[in-house]
C-alpha cells in the first residue's frame, strides 16, 4: 500500500504543501495512450468508493485507476498529484486537491466557485463548460481507457457524483473540470437551465391575473336565468368512437356513432326525461354533457357559454354547477372511503364552497336532506342498502349546490318501492333548490311521473320530443308509439282492446346505421323516401296547421297522431 502524505485520507498532499501530489507529477488516468489499471502507488477500495494515497491513487465503484510518478501531464489531464475519490453510489463525491472540495451540485476553491490548477509555462489554461447533471461515468482524458464511472483529471465519479483531481474541482451534476466555473451551490455562475427538457415553456397568467377563458366562464355562470328560459342548449352534438385495425400501425376503418346530431334545450327549473332502448346513446349523451367524454362535433352552451371544449380551471368552474348522479349505486361509490369522505370530496376540490372547519357539519346536513341519519357519516358503502347508496350519490351531487343535475338511470337498479322513494326525493329537492334535471331512464312510467318534457332516442338520435302530455297521449313517431304500446297496464280491463305494436328485426349497428331514417328497417310505414331523405326533428307537415298537443317535434315523414294508445 502506498504511503499517504496528507493529514486527511482524501487530501492529495500535506496541508499547506505547494505540491498537492507529494511532489510527483502524474497523468490522471494515463498518458500517451497507456492504460493505468492498478499501477504504482495505487490504492483500491471496494464498494462504491475508496480512498487514495500519495502519487495520485484513485479508487471508484467497481474500478480503480492508478498513476505512475513522474509521468508527463497531457493537455487533457490536470497537473499535480491525484486526490483520493470517495463516492456513495448515486449520491455525492468529495475530492481534495489544494484544499478544494466538491460536494452535491458543485463547489469551488476558497468558496469562490472557481478552482484553478497551477499554470505551466506555454500551456494556456483550459476552461471546460459545466457538464449536465448525472454525467458521471463519461470516459475522460486523452489516450486513457477509463472504466465506467471514471471522469477526467484522475477523478472517478460514482453514480451522479465524483471527486476532482489536484488541478481543479469537478462537481457532480453541474460542475466542470480544471479551471471551470462551477454552477450550483458552489457560488459560481454557470449556464442557466431552461426547464427540465431545455425547452422554454410559455408563461401562464401573472400572479393576480385571471385567465380570460376562466373569467368568461365565471361571468357566464354568474348570470341569472329566469325560470322557463334555456339554461343548457345542445346543438348537433356528436360523439363517435373510432374503429381501428392493426397492431403496430393502426388505421381507422369506421366509427361507432353513439350520439349523432342531437339537439335540445333544457330550461331552468324543468326536468327533461330521456327514454329509449339500451344502446341508443342515452348514457353517452350524459357523459358528453359532463365532459367525461369529449364531443366529436356540435356544441353545448351553458348560459350561452360554450363548454364542450373547456379544460383545466374553466372546466372545473363549470362542473361546480353541473353535477351527475350515476346509474349503479354499488360501483359509483368508493368502497374504501367513508360516507363522510365520499360526500365531502367535492369540498376538497372546491374548498371555497365549504371551509375546512365546517365540512363535517355540511356533510351531516346533506345526509339529513336526503333522508339518512347524520350519524352514518363514518360508515362505509357496503353497510347500506341499494336505495340508501343511491341517496348517498344524490347527496354528493347536491354538495356544491349545482343548477343542473344529470341523472343517469338513477332508479334502474332499485326495486319498485325504493324507486318511488328516490323519485319523490328528487322531486322534493328540485322544488327546494330550484334544480334543473336531465333524467335518463328505461321506465316510461317513472319518466312521466317526474318529467316536464320527454325526449325519445333511437340509435343515437332524438326522434321525438315534447311535453309529457304530447308524448304520452299524442305520440306521432312510430317508434314512440311502439314503446308506449309495450308498457304493461296493471288494470286487466285496460288491456282489452289495447293495440300492441310488435317491431320486426333488431336494432341496427351504430357503426353502420341505415341511410335516411334510422328507424325505417323496423317501421311498418317505411317508403322509398325514408331511405333517401333524413327526416328533420321538427313539427311534421301534417300538423303544421293544427293546434293542441299534437303539434310538437317529431322526426318522421309520415307522422300521425296515435292518441288511442293507452298511456302508462
pLDDT digits (tens, 9 = 90+) for 19-34: 444 433 433 333 333 3
The reply to whether 173 falls in a domain is: yes
The reply to whether 422 falls in a domain is: yes
What confidence tier does 402 reach under pLDDT thresholds 50, 70, 90? very high
Residues 13 and 74 grouped into a single domain: yes
**pLDDT attached to residue 193:** 41
Residues 37 and 155 grouped into a single domain: yes
Q: What is the mean pLDDT of residues 384-406?
A: 94
C-alpha cell at 44: 483500491
Residue 535 has pLDDT above 90, yes or no: yes
Residue 5 has pLDDT above 90, yes or no: no
Residue 56 has pLDDT above 80, yes or no: no
CA distances from 62 to 30, 87, 103 (A): 18, 11, 21
Residues 526 and 441 grouped into a single domain: no
Query: In the chain, how many domains are there?
Result: 4
Considering only 303-307, 376-380, 447-451, 483-487, which range has the smallest mean pLDDT? 483-487
The reply to whether 195 falls in a domain is: no
CA distances from 150 to 47, 94, 156, 378 (A): 15, 14, 4, 59
The reply to whether 352 falls in a domain is: yes
Top pLDDT among 85 and 253 is at 253
Integer Cα distance of 436 and 434 in angstroms: 7
**DSSP H helical segments within 122-268, as ranges?**
212-222
The domain of 516 spans 472-554
The reply to whether 37 falls in a domain is: yes
Residues 425 and 396 grouped into a single domain: no
Top pLDDT among 239 and 123 is at 239
Q: What is the mean pLDDT of residues 409-420?
A: 87
Q: What is the mean pLDDT of residues 38-48?
A: 37
Residues 23 and 100 grouped into a single domain: yes
What confidence tier does 15 reach under pLDDT thresholds 50, 70, 90? very low
Residues 164 and 253 grouped into a single domain: no
Residues 157 and 104 grouped into a single domain: yes
Q: What is the pLDDT of residues 357-378, one digit of tens each?
A: 899 999 999 999 999 999 999 9
Considering only 19-33, 120-134, 207-221, which range has the smallest mean pLDDT? 19-33
Residues 94 and 220 grouped into a single domain: no
The reply to whether 461 falls in a domain is: no
**pLDDT attached to residue 544:** 86
Considering only 171-175, 407-411, 473-477, 538-542, which range has the smallest mean pLDDT? 171-175
Integer Cα distance of 470 and 447 in angstroms: 14
Top pLDDT among 211 and 73 is at 211
C-alpha cell at 112: 469562490
Q: What is the mean pLDDT of residues 130-159?
A: 39
3-state secondary structure of 267: strand
The reply to whether 316 falls in a domain is: no
Query: Closest Cα partner for 108 from 92, 120, 97, 123?
Result: 97
Q: What is the mean pLDDT of residues 49-66?
A: 35
**pLDDT attached to residue 7:** 43
C-alpha cell at 311: 379544460
Q: What is the pLDDT of residues 175-196, one digit of tens each?
A: 333 333 433 333 344 444 444 4
Residues 135 and 84 grouped into a single domain: yes
Q: What is the mean pLDDT of the chain?
A: 72
**pLDDT attached to residue 143:** 37
Integer Cα distance of 177 and 336 in angstroms: 55
The reply to whether 1 falls in a domain is: yes
Most trustworthy range by pLDDT among 272-276, 487-491, 499-503, 563-567: 272-276
Residue 207 has pLDDT above 70, yes or no: no
Residues 376 and 524 grouped into a single domain: no
Q: What is the mean pLDDT of residues 453-475?
A: 94
Integer Cα distance of 117 and 125 in angstroms: 9
CATH number for the domain including 247?
3.40.50.300
Residue 16 has pLDDT above 70, yes or no: no
**pLDDT attached to residue 209:** 60
Residues 497 and 368 grouped into a single domain: no
Residue 387 has pLDDT above 50, yes or no: yes
pTM of the model as a whole: 0.63
Residues 420 and 493 grouped into a single domain: no
**Residue 63 bridge partners (DSSP):** 60
If 0-12 CB within 10 Å is exposed, 13-18 middle and 19+ buried, where does residue 232 land?
Answer: buried
Amino acid at each position: 500500500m502506498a504511503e499517504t502524505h496528507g493529514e486527511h485520507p482524501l487530501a492529495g498532499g500535506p496541508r499547506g504543501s505547494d505540491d498537492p501530489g507529494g511532489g510527483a507529477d502524474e497523468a490522471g488516468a494515463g498518458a500517451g495512450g497507456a492504460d493505468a489499471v492498478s499501477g504504482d502507488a495505487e490504492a483500491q477500495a471496494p464498494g462504491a468508493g475508496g480512498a487514495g494515497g500519495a502519487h495520485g491513487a484513485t479508487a471508484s465503484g467497481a474500478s480503480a485507476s492508478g498513476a505512475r510518478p513522474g509521468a508527463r501531464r497531457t493537455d487533457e489531464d490536470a497537473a499535480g498529484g491525484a486526490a483520493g475519490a470517495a463516492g456513495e453510489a448515486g449520491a455525492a463525491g468529495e475530492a481534495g486537491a489544494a484544499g478544494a472540495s466538491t460536494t452535491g451540485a458543485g463547489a469551488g476553491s476558497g468558496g469562490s466557485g472557481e478552482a484553478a490548477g497551477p499554470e505551466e509555462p506555454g500551456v494556456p489554461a483550459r476552461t471546460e463548460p459545466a457538464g449536465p447533471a448525472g454525467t458521471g461515468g463519461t470516459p475522460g482524458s486523452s489516450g486513457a481507457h477509463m472504466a465506467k464511472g471514471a471522469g477526467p483529471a484522475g477523478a472517478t465519479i460514482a453514480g451522479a457524483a465524483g471527486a476532482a483531481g489536484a488541478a481543479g474541482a469537478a462537481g457532480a451534476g453541474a460542475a466542470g473540470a480544471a479551471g471551470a466555473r462551477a454552477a450550483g451551490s458552489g457560488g459560481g455562475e454557470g449556464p442557466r437551465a431552461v426547464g427540465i427538457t431545455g425547452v422554454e415553456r410559455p408563461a401562464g397568467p401573472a400572479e393576480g391575473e385571471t385567465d380570460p377563458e376562466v373569467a368568461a366562464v365565471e361571468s357566464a355562470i354568474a348570470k341569472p336565468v329566469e325560470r322557463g328560459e334555456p339554461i343548457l342548449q345542445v346543438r348537433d352534438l356528436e360523439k363517435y368512437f373510432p374503429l381501428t385495425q392493426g397492431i403496430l400501425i393502426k388505421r381507422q376503418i369506421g366509427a361507432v356513432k353513439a350520439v349523432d346530431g342531437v339537439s335540445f334545450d333544457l330550461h331552468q327549473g324543468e326536468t327533461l326525461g330521456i327514454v329509449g332502448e339500451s344502446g341508443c346513446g342515452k348514457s353517452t349523451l350524459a357523459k358528453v354533457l359532463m365532459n367525461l367524454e369529449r364531443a366529436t362535433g356540435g356544441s353545448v352552451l351553458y348560459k350561452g357559454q360554450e363548454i364542450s371544449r373547456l379544460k383545466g380551471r374553466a372546466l372545473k368552474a363549470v362542473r361546480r354547477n353541473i353535477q351527475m348522479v350515476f346509474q349503479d349505486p354499488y360501483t359509483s361509490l368508493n368502497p374504501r372511503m367513508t360516507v363522510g369522505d365520499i360526500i365531502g370530496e367535492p369540498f376538497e376540490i372546491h374548498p371555497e364552497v365549504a371551509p375546512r372547519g365546517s365540512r363535517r357539519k355540511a356533510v351531516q346536513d346533506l345526509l339529513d336532506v336526503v333522508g339518512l341519519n347524520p350519524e352514518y357519516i363514518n360508515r362505509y358503502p357496503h353497510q347500506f342498502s341499494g336505495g340508501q347508496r343511491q341517496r348517498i350519490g344524490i347527496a354528493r351531487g347536491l354538495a356544491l349546490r349545482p343548477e343542473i343535475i344529470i341523472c343517469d338511470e338513477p332508479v334502474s337498479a332499485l326495486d319498485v318501492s325504493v324507486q318511488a322513494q328516490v323519485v319523490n326525493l328528487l322531486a322534493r329537492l328540485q322544488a327546494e333548490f330550484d334544480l334543473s334535471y336531465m333524467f335518463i331512464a328505461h321506465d316510461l312510467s317513472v319518466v312521466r311521473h317526474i318529467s316536464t318534457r320527454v325526449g325519445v332516442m333511437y340509435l343515437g338520435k332524438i326522434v321525438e320530443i315534447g311535453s309529457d302530455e304530447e308524448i304520452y297521449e299524442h305520440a306521432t313517431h312510430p317508434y314512440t308509439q311502439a314503446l308506449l304500446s309495450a308498457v304493461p297496464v296493471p288494470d286487466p280491463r285496460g288491456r282489452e282492446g289495447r293495440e300492441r305494436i310488435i317491431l320486426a328485426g333488431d336494432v341496427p349497428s351504430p357503426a353502420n346505421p341505415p341511410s335516411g331514417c334510422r328507424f325505417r328497417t323496423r317501421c311498418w310505414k317505411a317508403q322509398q323516401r325514408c331511405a333517401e331523405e333524413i327526416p328533420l326533428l321538427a313539427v311534421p307537415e301534417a300538423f303544421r296547421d293544427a293546434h293542441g298537443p299534437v303539434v310538437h317535434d317529431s322526426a318522421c315523414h309520415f307522422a300521425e297522431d296515435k292518441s288511442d294508445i293507452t298511456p302508462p
